[in-house]
Amino acid sequence: MARPPEQLGSLRLVRQLGVGRKCQIWEASDESRTKRVAVKLVSPESASDKGIRQLLKHELIVSKSLNHSGIIQIERYSTAGRLPHLVMELFRHPNLKMRLTSGIESIIGQAQIVAQNAADAISHLHANRWVHRDLKPENILVDDAGTIRLIDLGLASRPPGFFSQFISMKRTVQGSPSYMSPEQIRGSRVGYAGDIYSFGCLLYELVTGHTPFTGSTQQELLSKQLYATPPFASATNAGVTPELDRFIRELLAKRPTERPSSMAEVAAHLRNTPFLTPKARSAASKKAD
């Protein structure tokens, strides 16, 4: 992937924080304000792609309609050196997938607060009538205290029945297979219940270290999302409480109507559900010390 120029208008790129299929994430110094920011930049080889530019503009529209400390703030869309980019809040912490890759021991002690904070952020998104449609650990930045930022709002859409002229209205199957709800896989319009299912996959991974469904091929994985009975998290992590075990399976119900009715309900439930048994909590606390 080609390296962008060091200077983009008032922005001086300092270091690369991440990379995607068509975009790069950089830490930059905004010399007009002597402030550090994050820049989501279209890679030079994709700069002429009208679709990715439209997605960035859409992401800005979604962000401007939100006001929550757990959702990344996007300041503006701009083009410099023919490279479209978003200027956003800088949150210098790895995503949840990175934390999990190093082992759940590094995050299990903060699992409940991370889950609660993420649920609150998603609840705010839903309250403002947006469905994220791509909830996964890669799209949650998290620090050592469990503070999070929900990112990547490019696929966010209005729920079914809500009139919108946005590009996200297109009925295309988009998302990440390991976290996609059955209705999303079938190509149906995804409502709030789709995010709730994806959150269930994320929550399962947060306390076990791996996704609830896997497959040797994408087709096998999608088939399991559609038809396989959700596994018990405690089968992998014996420290997971029966209460959390049952709740995760509710989140992963195949029928949308059988899942919790809202993310606000999910957030409230998480505040009152013990995640770990006393023995597991004690072990996590000792590791943290």
Whether 134 is catalytic is: yes
Q: Are 165 and 158 in contact (CB under 8 A)?
A: no
The β-bridge relationship of strands 74-80 and 83-88 is antiparallel
Burial 238-247 (b: 16+ CB within 10 A, else e): ebbbeebbeb
Q: Which of 30, 49, 134, 152 is an active site residue?
A: 134
Q: Are 104 and 233 in contact (CB under 8 A)?
A: no
Q: Are 151 and 72 in contact (CB under 8 A)?
A: yes
Residues with catalytic roles: 134
